[in-house]
Copies of this chain bind each other. A is one copy, B any other.
């Protein structure tokens, strides 16, 4: 981990006075352009921030952790926050959260704010983890744990779901039930978790010797409404279908509503599986098949890793994948291998 650097050291490295460094920071007086450039370069390299000084003046330990999330909507991140809060409270740490609404500028600003507010570590959840995130994080003198994204290449600690693997496994479970005509309703193309699930689905088909038809993959925005319209669009392709895999419950529910509006029986004619297991599914009369993974646990593990790094005062690459379970329920049926027709729901409600 990068060591905190104080204003004295910055001044020494630049061969200028502390007052000059301070002037550059506060824009509070004349500084020669070449000197300013030199100081800015050292500041950039060392990651020095003026509040580090304040931090040194004040108590060393704030017992504060910052968390940056890209959204508050939906079940996932709120539950993750609850998990984080649970663990931090047990360790007498407090959590400050900020919501970036997916804006990169806002994320960057909040890294700065949290640093100036002297949090001891940061939990970071973004829609798409980028090289630029990694650059910023590596300059921080405090540990950062990334949530819900794999950062293996960048060697930044993370906790994530195994999206690719469970999507592949769940799709193969449908294949084992005799399904061979698949469609996929995916998420936004810039959402890493959605893309990983889509890849899992595609690879399950390829490994099972099935063709992947581009026209039978539709990307949407996670909502029930959009699931409905994506299902409409799939039906308009007029291709044979026995199973629809949706990236989340919302779109699976929309798809089921659409199929029922077209007089298609779920699961007798078409099986539907959502790669998710949220409270939304509980509103359906039909028990929705899905994949269960705990956001609360993910938050807890993330907080534990962060606290360990704060306490040991060393940044160590660490990764953790949260376990999952696949649940086939009433929305999925077996296809009879002999005649290719479906024989109805074989699963009792859970």
Q: Which residues of A contact B (CB under 8 A)?
A: 54, 58, 64, 72-75, 77-79, 81-82, 85, 89, 94-99, 101, 106, 109-110, 113, 117, 223-225, 250, 253, 257, 260, 279-285
Contacts and interface: CB of A to CB of B under 8 A. Distances in A.
10 contacts: A54-B58, A72-B72, A72-B81, A82-B101, A94-B110, A97-B97, A97-B99, A224-B283, A253-B283, A280-B280
A328 to B, nearest CB: 20
Contacts of A94: 98, 109-110, 113
Contact of A99 (B85, B101, B110, B281): B85
A224 B82 contact: no
Nearest to A101: B85
Given A78-B73, A94-B98, A99-B97, A225 B282 contact: yes
Contacts of A281: 283
Interface of A is mostly: helix
A49 to B, nearest CB: 13
B279 A224 contact: yes
Contact of A257 (B89, B95, B225, B285): B285
Given A54-B58, A85-B99, A223-B279, 10 more contacts: A72-B72, A94-B98, A94-B110, A94-B113, A96-B97, A253-B283, A260-B285, A280-B283, A281-B283, A283-B283
Contacts of A225: 282
